Amino acid sequence: MAEVLQKVIEEERQGEAYAPFIDDPTGFQKRFYIESYGCQMNFSDSEIVASILHEQGFGATRNFEEADLVLLNTCSIREKAEQTVRNRLQAFRKIKDKNPGMLIGVLGCMAERLKAKLLEEEKLVDIVVGPDAYRSLPGLITEAEGGQKTVNVLLSRDETYADISPVRLDSNGVTAFVTIMRGCNNMCTFCVVPFTRGRERSRDAASIVRECTDLFERGFKEVTLLGQNVDSYYYTNESGENITFAHLLAMVADISPLLRVRFSTSHPKDITDDVLHTMAGRHNICKYIHLPVQSGNTRILQLMNRTYTREWYLAKVKRIREIMPDCGLSTDVISGFCTETEEDHLDTLSVMENSRFDMAYMFSYSERPGTLAARRYTDDIPEDVKKRRLEEIIKLQNSHSRESYTNDIGKVFEVLIETSSKRSDRDWSGRNSQNKVVVFPKGDADLKKGDYVHVKINTATSATLIGEMI
């Protein structure tokens, strides 16, 4: 399941997968079915939506054919992500023909991007709700039940859903995501997120600590703090105290040494020494940073408005390794951004050579309507060139991943058991601090999900470490 989860997460990031969710017990008057696309933040939002729907007497079902309400929580990050959703809507058409009372709602970033236009383009959709408007869902559902198509895509400057306790959908009972901020102020020119998610705002620190404490008390052993740019987290509490991301990390880590803390995503311009020292100083803050580089060429980085240079990025990587020599590192890369030359592309490969990422999410540039890049630049790199460059990036990353995983052979890691291995019931699967999946035989030991064990690595693939308990 850890591998499955990992794979689902990877696919999500590429806008390709969905998660069928839990069945709630009987006792609910109505049933909803929800699929989530896109990033972990969308997943996390679906858990807020589930909580709001529970209050309205809707229980979750895994079978959309028996649902009164079908929801798609959508992603707009690349064209393909939107296409996947449109294809999925087609699949629901047949069921709606059979069961005309069933309501279909589109949530998330595609709802926000297309607004009421979505109702014209996709006739079977009844409800369109943007990421900041989920509290209005009950009212919208009532209107839609009365035959009225409804839209709420208002973005907010302060909505963080801080008081809503998420319903953990499809959970392994060990790891959970906790949203700490919403929106993004960065305006990377290729990116649709600032338009679909609105202005950046940080959630009340006390409510974050409360949620994480509650998770720990319910048996969860790992929380991942989520935001588009977690390093710019900043919250001023009632006593006038300013809480930075480094403070917040420490506060969550101090809940218990047995609660692991992860976070995603860091922006290279914002990650501070303070954060790195806080990580280094606490065993239970995982030694893993996802630090998207996007490109290795300073001119392209400028066109992307990433606000750092190649040298700045490399210096950050060096700093991370100085402070935490054992820190895992992964990245995001885009091939074929506007005007990218062959030399610029080689700079991306060489930044990868220099940084030696353990893992990467790699994409070819997909122009998104309304973004700064769409307005200012021409999407001038032919598809076949983007694709060939992407293949070169993937090939290089595969060799680095293989090298990184092979280098772990012989090492001993503390692993948090998440689930039985997908391949064999006789193996446990979990992750080490560096976020690598570790699989090992259960043997006779009396262990369970959520336990920590020490595992010595004997073999490795480019995505899994295989070992034995010591």
Site of interaction with ligand F3S (CB under 6 A): 38-39, 41-42, 75-77, 108-109, 192-193, 196-197
The C-alpha angle 226, 229, 233, rounded to 5 degrees, equals: 80
d(CA 327, CA 224): 16
Per CB under 6 A, 294 contacts ligand SAH: yes
Q: 3-state DSSP call for residue 300?
A: helix
| Least spacing, CB of residue 378 vs ligand SF4, in Å | 20
Residue 334 touching ligand SAH (CB under 6 A): yes
Cβ 36 vs Cβ 43: under 8 Å = yes
Provide the mask over 267-296, with x wherever binding to ligand SF4 is found by CB under 6 A and - wherever it is not: x-----------------------------
Instruction: Choose between 42 and 434: whose C-beta lies nearer to ligand F3S.
Output: 42
271 binds ligand SAH (CB under 6 A): no
Segment interacting with ligand SAH, rule: CB under 6 A, options 167-175, 199-207, 365-373, 400-408: 365-373
Which residues between 248 and 267 bind ligand SAH (CB under 6 A)?
A: 265, 267
Closer to ligand SF4 by CB, 116 or 187: give it. 187
3-state SS, one letter per residue, for 134-157: HHHHHHHHHHHHCCCCEEECCCCC
Q: How far is the CB of 198 from ligand F3S (least distance, A)?
A: 11
Q: DSSP secondary-structure letter at 424? A: -
Sequence-distant (6+) residues with CB within 8 A of 440 are 415, 427, 428, 453, 455, 466, 467, 468, 469
Closest separation in Å from C-beta 274 to ligand SF4: 20
Residue 123 has a CB neighbour count (10 Å cut-off) of 11
Three-state secondary-structure class, residue 111 = helix
Instruction: Select 48 or 304, whichever has its Cβ closest to ligand SAH.
Output: 304
- The bridge status of strand 359-364 relative to strand 222-226 is unpaired
By the rule CB under 6 A, 330 interacts with ligand SAH: no
**Least separation, in Å, of the C-beta of 269 and ligand SAH?**
10
> 196 or 202, CB closer to ligand F3S?
196
**Residue 143 burial (10 A CB sphere; 0-12, 13-18, 19+):** middle
CB of 251 vs ligand SAH, minimal distance in Å: 23
Task: Give contact residues for ligand SAH (rule: CB under 6 A).
Answer: 77-78, 190-191, 193, 228-229, 265, 267, 292, 294, 332, 334, 363, 365-366, 368
